[in-house]
């Protein structure tokens, strides 16, 4: 007799579920109507009955003009939200002419050095008519200021400026590595952004607290949710300590999760996450406004599950994952292109990924009813098991002094590495079948031609940067950066002196260098 099947989170999956598996489960409290606490069934009463989720496509490569062209194509094809990928130098706070940027400019995202790049990036796109998500963390505030100023220069109504900056640096220390500053300074930068947005662009979501990258590094579903919510707790505590009104800023928090091919467990994961976050906000922080306790989230299909072998099979994986996100009640979704395991997605592949969402929205009956899995023996049982394990892991983190303290001790990173190692062992032993990789392998495959970045992009970007440096008012730049240095050493909100620096054509790298000079850089304990 074979061993019992186990979930991604390592609890047993039964061959048959029945009402007995829901003993002690109280539908009256756990399955309130959609849109009502504890939001197990979704954060809106009608969910997709009126309109579907926001359909985003994560895009950005080369320089601003190339990325703008892709955005225009996606808008024409029906995408309802833009999602900006920045290149590695921009994410790390280096300009395109920095020695460490060589060979990386425009590779994994668009290169943004100055506000002029941001203007070109959104040329002919009305920023108060589109929702924009920006995947940027340590320098998130700088890119947000650039975006807001470009919108202002367009004449946009800033009260309608909608979107999200990822701005979640804690997960960078845990799994992704694009951090710059030490945790304490990074948290101050984030709470300054909360304050700035509340005053300047009140409809903006000030942070997207991300479990996606931890999952990509190997975290299982329970770890993904627990570590993400623990980081969320740290951001809430930091904001409260900075004097922000919990009832005002909490509704602007958003989350970002992966969605895997294990459909049932993923649906249960999202339902459990909403329930746990509601109780954290109500019981631990005492929020009175239910909207401040409702977990809203963006989902991206699992890039780590895409394969370079038989890449067309990724179309199937992405479709299943997108179904899981929709059945789980996501507010926003990005579907990966089938060729992303090979290189940057081609225009055709990106369009097909968008079409996948459109077919689900318009050709299935999933948008005709709210929370189709409610009352399912297996999904409700899995939801309860995930919730129980998440609460246990959150308790372990709290006993270590919270997420930041646990990060400094390497707790989350260690558990994720253990999980990743277990996954690798299971794949090697064929206990976990990956179609086209360790089973059903093709004898020969046609060579696939991925989208490639023109090597001239870097030279062109560096040339533009040199032209801006030579044409700008050097004294104005120096004065603005000096004001920023004073603010960083004190307690003034940093985003206002950053505004002045950006308007003077200071670069992302120059602004980050000022902050590096005041705050220093984060060095992981194992690197010391």
pLDDT digits (tens, 9 = 90+) for 32-44: 899 999 999 999 9
pLDDT at residue 524 in the model: 79
- What CA–CA distance (Å, rounded) separates 419 from 218? 6
Question: What are the backbone dihedrals phi and psi of residue 318, each rounded to the nearest 5 degrees, phi first?
Answer: -65, -40
pLDDT in tens, 259-308: 999 999 999 999 999 999 999 999 999 999 999 999 999 999 999 999 99
Return the closest-CA partner of residue 67 out of 350, 298, 317: 350
pLDDT at residue 140 in the model: 98
- What CA–CA distance (Å, rounded) separates 516 from 182? 10
- What CA–CA distance (Å, rounded) separates 82 from 22? 41
pLDDT at residue 451 in the model: 66
Return the closest-CA partner of residue 312 out of 284, 282, 274, 339: 339
CATH class of the domain comprising 1-48+167-443: alpha beta
- What CA–CA distance (Å, rounded) separates 527 from 319? 41
pLDDT at residue 209 in the model: 97
- Residue 465 Cα distances to 488, 498, 508, angstroms: 25, 19, 11
- What CA–CA distance (Å, rounded) separates 325 from 175? 23
pLDDT at residue 528 in the model: 45
- Residue limits of CATH 3.20.20.240 in the chain: 1-48+167-443
pLDDT at residue 455 in the model: 81
Alpha helices in 243-376 (DSSP H): 246-249, 263-279, 314-327, 347-363
Q: Render the burial of 293-309: b for 16+ CB within 10 Å, e for the rest.
A: bbbbbbbbbbbebbbbb
Q: Which residues of the chain, if any, have pLDDT below 70? A: 1-3, 450-451, 525-528
Instruction: Specify the residue for token string 């603005």.
Output: 480
Return the closest-CA partner of residue 387 out of 279, 304, 293: 279
Collapsing DSSP states into helix, strand and coil, what is residue 156? Answer: coil
8 Å CB contact between 278 and 234: no
8 Å CB contact between 251 and 244: no
Q: CA neighbours within 13 Å on the CB side: how many for 273? A: 35
8 Å CB contact between 296 and 290: no
Return the closest-CA partner of residue 110 out of 75, 80, 146: 146
Cross-strand bridge partners of residue 300: 258, 334
pLDDT at residue 443 in the model: 83
């Amino acid at each position: 007799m074979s061993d019992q099947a186990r979930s991604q989170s390592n609890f047993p999956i039964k061959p048959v579920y029945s009402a007995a598996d829901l003993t002690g489960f109280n539908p009256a409290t756990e399955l309130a109507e959609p849109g009502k606490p504890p939001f197990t069934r979704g954060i809106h009463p009608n969910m997709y009955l009126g309109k579907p989720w926001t359909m985003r496509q994560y895009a950005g490569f080369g320089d601003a003009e190339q990325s703008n062209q892709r955005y225009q194509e996606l808008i024409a094809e029906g995408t309802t939200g833009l999602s900006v990928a920045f290149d590695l130098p921009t994410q790390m706070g280096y300009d395109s002419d920095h020695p460490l940027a060589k060979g990386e400019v425009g590779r994994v995202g668009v290169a943004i050095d100055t506000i002029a790049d941001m203007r070109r990036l959104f040329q002919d796109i009305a920023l108060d008519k589109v929702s924009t998500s920006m995947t940027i963390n340590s320098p998130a505030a700088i890119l947000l200021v650039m975006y807001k100023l470009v919108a202002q220069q367009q004449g946009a109504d800033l009260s309608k400026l909608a979107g999200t900056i990822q701005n979640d640096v804690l997960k960078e220390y845990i799994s992704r590595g694009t951090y710059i500053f030490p945790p304490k300074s990074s948290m101050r930068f984030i709470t300054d952004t909360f304050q700035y947005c509340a005053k300047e662009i009140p409809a903006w979501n000030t942070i997207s607290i991300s479990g996606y990258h931890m999952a990509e590094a190997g975290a299982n579903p329970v770890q993904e949710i627990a570590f993400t919510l623990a980081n969320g707790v740290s951001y809430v505590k930091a904001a409260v300590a900075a004097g922000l009104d919990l009832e005002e800023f909490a509704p602007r928090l958003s989350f970002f999760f992966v969605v895997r091919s294990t459909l049932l467990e993923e649906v249960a994961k999202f339902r459990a996450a909403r329930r746990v976050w509601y109780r954290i906000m109500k019981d631990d922080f005492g929020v009175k406004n239910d909207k401040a306790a409702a977990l809203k989230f963006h989902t991206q299909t699992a890039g780590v599950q895409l394969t370079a072998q038989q890449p067309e099979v990724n179309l199937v994986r992405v479709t299943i994952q997108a179904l899981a996100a929709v059945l789980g009640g996501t507010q926003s979704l990005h579907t990966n292109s089938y060729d992303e395991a090979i290189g940057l997605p081609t225009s055709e592949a990106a369009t097909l990924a968008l079409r996948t969402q459109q077919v689900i929205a318009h050709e299935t009956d999933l948008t005709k009813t709210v929370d189709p899995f409610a009352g399912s023996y297996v999904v409700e049982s899995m939801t309860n098991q995930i919730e129980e394990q998440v609460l246990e892991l959150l308790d372990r983190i709290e006993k270590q002094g919270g997420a930041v303290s646990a990060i400094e001790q390497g707790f989350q990173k260690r558990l994720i590495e253990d999980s990743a190692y277990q996954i690798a062992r299971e794949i090697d032993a064929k206990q976990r079948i990956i179609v086209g990789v360790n089973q059903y392998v093709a004898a020969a495959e046609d060579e696939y031609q991925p989208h490639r970045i023109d090597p001239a992009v870097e030279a062109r970007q560096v040339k533009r940067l040199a032209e801006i440096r030579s044409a700008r008012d050097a004294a104005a730049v120096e004065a603005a950066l000096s004001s920023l240095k004073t603010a960083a050493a004190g307690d003034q909100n940093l985003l206002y002196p950053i505004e002045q620096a950006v308007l003077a054509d200071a670069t992302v790298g120059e602004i980050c260098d000022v902050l590096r000079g005041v705050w220093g850089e984060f060095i992981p304990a194992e690197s010391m």
